[in-house]
Structure 1
Amino acid sequence: MDYKYIRSSVNNHCQEIAIDRPAVFNALNFEVLEELKAAFDQAAQAETVRCVVLTGGGGAFCSGQDLKAVGTDLDGIPFKEIIRKYYNPLIIQMRNLSKPIICKLNGAAVGAGCSLALATDVIIASKEAYLAEMFAHIGLVMDAGSNYFLPKRVGYPLAFELATTGRKVYAEEAERLGLVNKAIEHSALDETVAQYVEVYVNASGSAIGMIKEMLRKSNGMSLEEVLEMEAVYQEKAGSHQDFKEGVTSFLEKRKPRFYK
C-alpha cells in the first residue's frame, strides 16, 4: 500500500512505521490515523513480521492532534465521533497486536502523540525527547488511552500532576518515573532499538504474543483468576512447536531457531 503521511518498511522481520509530517512535527490528521491503522493491519497479517517499531520522521515523534484538521468551527467539533472513529480503533488494535511494538521516541511526544507512545510495549527514548500531556492547556482532557496507560505506569498522584500541569517530562526523568524503559544518547537511539529488535525477531513469537495478551487481560483480575489463566496459557504454550525447539536447543547447547 502507498502511504502519503507515514512511511512503512519491513527489514529482517521487523516493520518500522514512521509518522512523516515533519513540517508540523508529525501532527495527527485523520489521514495519518487511517494510514497508521492500515500499517498495523499489515503487521498483524504478515507472518514474516515479528516486531514493530513506531517512530516519527524528522526531529519529533508526534505533536498530537493537528488542530487545523478539525476545522475552525470550535462549537461544532464532533469530539465523540472523532475519538470513536479514528483514535479508539487504533489504540485497541495496537494493544491487541500479538507482536511487540517498540516506540523509538526520537523527539517530542505531546498530547495524543504521548498517548500513542504509551500504547506501545517498550519505549526507548532519546535523551532529547520528552512526553507531555498538554490537553488541559487548551481546555481538553486526555484521550487516546492516556487515562488508562498513564496511571498504570506512574500511579494516580503523578498521573494527576502530569495530566493537569502538562509539563514536559524529558527522557531521563521519564526513565526514573517508569514512563519509558530506557533513556539514551540520541546518537545511540537507532543502535539501541536495533538491539531490542534483534531480541524480539529471534524470540518465540508465540510466547511473546501470549505474554502480551496475558498482561493485558490480568488488569482487573483477581489472583485466583490470574493463576487459572496462567494454567490455561501454559498448556497452550507447551503444545506449540516453539517449546519443543526451546528445550531441544537448550539440551543441544545452541541458540533456538524459533518458528518464523
Structure 2
Amino acid sequence: MTDYVLCEKNEATLVITINRPERRNAFDLEVREELARAIYQARDDDTVKAVIITGTQGVFCAGGDLKSLSATKRPIYKDRERIRLLHTWFQELVNLEKPVIAAVDGPAFGAGFNLALACDFILGTPSARFCAVFGRIGLVPDLGGFFLLPRIVGLQRAKELVFTAREVSAEEAHALGILFQIVPAQSLLQEALTLAARFHTASTEALGMSKNILNRSFNLDQSTLAELESHAQALALHTEYHDQAVSRFLEKQPLQFTWPKDSGQSGGRS
C-alpha cells in the first residue's frame, strides 16, 4: 500500500486511515484503490474482529477530487463504468460481516459522507460536518448515497439533504441519527477503539449474519426474512462460540460478551 491509506492493527481492530491531507483526504483514484485493498484485507483476515475508518488532520474525507475529474473528459460509458467499479468493493464495505466504525472529524462531504454512512456506527467530534454536496455541481449522489441515506434519516429528510446540498452540523447529525455519538476531538480515535474493542469478544459469525440480514430488511417481506432468520439461527446454533457460551451459562460463569451498562444509550454524548 501507499501512504495515502494507512492500515494498522490495534489488537483485533483494523484501523484504516485516509492520509492525503494536502487534498483534504479527497476521494481520488489512489485513495479509492487503496481503500478497496484495505476493505478486502479486513474481510479476509480472520483475526480482525472490528474495523475503524478515519481521516487525518481534522478531515474525514472532503469528497471527490474535482481537479482530476475535470482534467480529462472521458467517453460517457467510461464514466458509467468508473462508478460501477466502485461498487465492486464498496458493497463489500457496506456488507462486511464485522462491525465497522467511522471516526469523523471535520468534513465528510460527498463520497466522504456516503463512506461514513456505509459504516455501522459513526462517532464524530463537535467539528464534524456532513454534506450531500453533489447538487452544488450538478451531480447526483454516488457511492451508495441513494441506498444509505434514506435508510438512516428517512425518505423526506434524505430528499431535503440531497436537494439543498446543505451542511449538517454534528448536533443536527446526532439528532437525525447519522451520528451515533459526539465525542471530544482529542479522544476521537480512542473512543472509536474502545467501541470497537467491545466487539472483540462477541461472536463474529452471529454479528455478521445479523448485519447481513438487517441490511436486507428494508427490501424483503416478512416471510423471506423469516427464512433468512431460520437459516442464520441454525448456523449460529452449531458454532463453537455458542457451545462455549452455553457451557459458561450452565456452569454459572460470566459470559464472554457483555455490554457495559453505562454504554447502552443509543448515540449519547460523552
| Alignment match, 1:84 | 84
Q: Which amino acid aligns with 1:229?
A: L
2:38 alignment partner in structure 1 = 39
In 2: Cα distance, 1:238 partner to 1:177 partner: 36
Whether the aligned pair in 1 keeps the contact of 2:128 and 2:170 (CA below 8 Å) is yes
CA pair 73-201 structure 1, distance change in 2 beyond 3 A = same
Deviation at 1:180, TM superposition (A): 1.8
Aligned residue pairs, count? 256
Report how far residue 117 of structure 1 moved: 0.6
* Structure 1 partner of 2:166: 167
Return the offset for 1:75.
7.4
Q: 1:249, CA displacement in angstroms?
A: 2.2
The answer to whether the 8 A contact 1:33-1:90 is kept is no
In 2, Cα distance between equivalents of 1:229 and 1:93? 19
Structure 1 residue 193 corresponds to structure 2 residue 187:
no
How far apart are residue 50 of structure 1 and its match?
A: 0.8
Report % sequence identity. Answer: 35
Residue number in structure 1 paired with 2:100: 101
Shift of 1:68: 1.6
| Contact 2:59-2:105 within 8 A present in 1 as well | yes
* Contact 1:104-1:189 at 8 Å conserved across structures: yes
Report the Cα distance in structure 1 between the residues aligned to 2:174 and 2:151, rounded to whole angstroms: 15
Residues 188-241 of structure 1 deviation map (CA, whole Å, 9 limit, x = unaligned): 322321221111112111111111111122231111221222122111111111
Structure 1 residue 74, shift from structure 2 partner:
5.1
Q: Deviations over 1:117-173 (max 9, x none)?
A: 111111111111011000000010101001111011111111011001111111221
Aligned twin of 1:181? 180
Q: CA RMSD in A?
A: 1.8
TM-score, normalisation: structure 1: 0.93
Preserved contact between residue 13 and residue 193 of structure 2 (Cα < 8 Å): no
Q: What is the rounded CA distance, in whole Å, between the counterparts of 2:231 and 2:172 in structure 1?
A: 39
Question: In 2, Cα distance between the equivalents of 1:255 and 1:230?
Answer: 23
Report if aligned partners of 2:12, 2:197 keep a CA contact under 8 Å in 1.
no
Structure 2 portions without partners, runs of 5+: 258-270
Contact 1:127 1:171 in 2 (8 A): yes
SS at match of 1:200: coil
Tell me the equivalent position of 1:20. Answer: 19
Q: Which residue of 2 aligns with 1:49?
A: 48
Using the alignment, how far apart are the partners of 2:20 and 2:149 within structure 1?
Answer: 26
**Contact 2:36–2:89 under 8 Å retained in 1:** yes
Aligned counterpart, 1:256: 256
- Unaligned stretches of 5+ in structure 1? none
For residue 253 of structure 2, what is the amino acid of its counterpart?
A: K
Deviates further, 114-123 or 70-79: 70-79
